[in-house]
Amino acid sequence: MGFRWDLVWSSLPTLLEGAKLTVQLTTVSVFFGIIIGTITGIARISKGPLRYAAAAYIDVIRGTPLLVQTFIVFYGLPGLIQRPIPAYAAALLALSVNSGAYVGEIVRSGIQSLDKGQWEAAFSLGLTKGQTMRHVILPQAFRRILPPLGNEFIALLKDSSLVSVIALEELVRKGQIIIGRTFRPFEVWLAVALIFFVMTFTVSRLVDLLEKRMVQHDSSNS
């Protein structure tokens, strides 16, 4: 029967609708992941029980598949709290918790990559440990962790396809629905792959542009 371009074009509106949800899920999840990861990363380099709790969280999340984590949140958690969790909320929770573990390691490595003299200089100026972290360490660490954060966004953008298993109609689920109606998997999956490529390529170029601007800004201030 040959390749049907007409099917690809007619499927685009539906697929783009799913892609919109995919980007929304990823953006919100990475936002919460950065918050969770920043707290976790700081806890990892602290002294006391929080250090071990943060390490355990990171090890467990990074050591288990995102698909299993999604099943635990969507199917397992409702049994504990005795109420169902909407698919969108379950996907958002699973993706945020997963992203937080990876961002936590990114933040930890970024902080530890800074010279210890930064701490000493801040303390000599009378800053507390919290003020030093907030005003001196984290702003400098952010410049170093920007590329890994961009990679984490791209990775989560692709991994978000796993939430299709809980019937959330993001890009992959929309593709499955179209295939069930048309019985043309090659054209539909090719269109899905191309949309994912456009999204990830765009994000990677934006991260590169932002990184170059930050380097130029640092050079002009030095």
Distance of CA 75 to CAs 23, 32, 69, Å?
24, 22, 10
Q: What is the pLDDT of residues 90-146, one digit of tens each?
A: 999 999 999 999 999 999 999 998 888 888 888 888 888 888 888 888 888 888 888
Percent share of the chain, pLDDT over 70: 97
Q: At what angle do helices 49-62 and 87-112 cross, to 10 degrees?
A: 120
The length of the chain in residues reads: 222
In this prediction, residue 16 has a pLDDT band, given cuts at 50, 70 and 90, of very high
Amino acid present at 81: I
Q: What is the CATH number of domain 5-221?
A: 1.10.3720.10
135's CB contacts (< 8 A; 6+ apart) are: 122, 127
**Kind and range of the H or E element at 116?**
none
Give the global pTM: 0.91
Q: Which of 45, 65, 64 is nearest to 55 (CA)?
A: 45
Residue with the two structure tokens 């953008």: 157
Please answer whether residues 99 and 29 qualify as being in contact, where contact means their C-beta atoms are separated by less than 8 angstroms.
yes
- Return d(Cα 9, Cα 94) in angstroms, integer: 33
